[in-house]
Copies of this chain bind each other. A is one copy, B any other.
Amino acid sequence: MATVLTQKQRAILDFINLHIQTEGRPPTLKEIAKRFGYASDNSVRTHLRLIHKKGLLKKEPNKARGLKTSEFFGISSLNSVNIPLIGTIAAGKPITALENLEKYISVDRELFKGNDIFALRIKGDSMKGAGINDGDIAIIHPQNDAENGEIVVAIIEEEATLKYFYKEGDRVILKASNPLYADINIDSTSGSDVKIIGKVIGLIRKL
């Protein structure tokens, strides 16, 4: 008898599990009580005590949201990361600022590795020759430098633009793959408004 949960207990345990998975934190006693329509959170406590007796719940005393379910949720084994998708660039703001945020998208964490990677909605056809089309989503690793031939994100006149990166001595040349666009030269001496903020490490397209 002592190994099986009653319906109520099962429901409460399920709710706790779900809460952790969706909210990233366990519920409080009051939140559980509210969910099940209990007037007193003490009702919940007796249930929790019983579930605990049956070994399916741990509790750290005197801690806010101290519940732990034994069915350790495998978020650590999660193979995706949510990264911000930047739609438009707001003048004077950090590129990943809230103002620029379109939404979050989920990408495979093995495929696109790195801290602080983000996604950028591409406008225009300057990189069409490289298979990057208008409306595509580029995955960006933030960095200020790159290797020759890599594709970087440059902020030119408040606009994020993709270009091929080439370095010749002290000079940096940004080339579009589309010959209609002129090369951009960045001289280390001349103060330039062009900033390289990252390197393209991947691409996602929705058809």
Count of chain A residues with Cβ under 8 Å from any Cβ of B?
75
Inter-subunit contact A24/B96 (CB<8 Å):
no
- Total identical chains: 2
Whether A107 is near chain B, meaning CB under 8 Å from some CB there, is yes
A204 touches B106 (CB 8 A): no
Which of A2, A4, A78 has the most chain B CB within a 10 Å cutoff?
A: A4
What string of 1s and 0s marks CB contacts (under 8 Å) between A53-84 and chain B?
A: 11110000000111111111111111111111
Which of B4, B79, B84 has a CB less than 8 Å from the CB of A142? B4
A77 to chain B, nearest CB (A): 5
What is the interface of chain A, defined by CB distance below 8 A to chain B? 1-5, 10, 20-26, 28, 53-56, 64-84, 94-98, 100-101, 104-112, 115-116, 128, 131-133, 136, 142, 150-151, 195, 197, 200-207
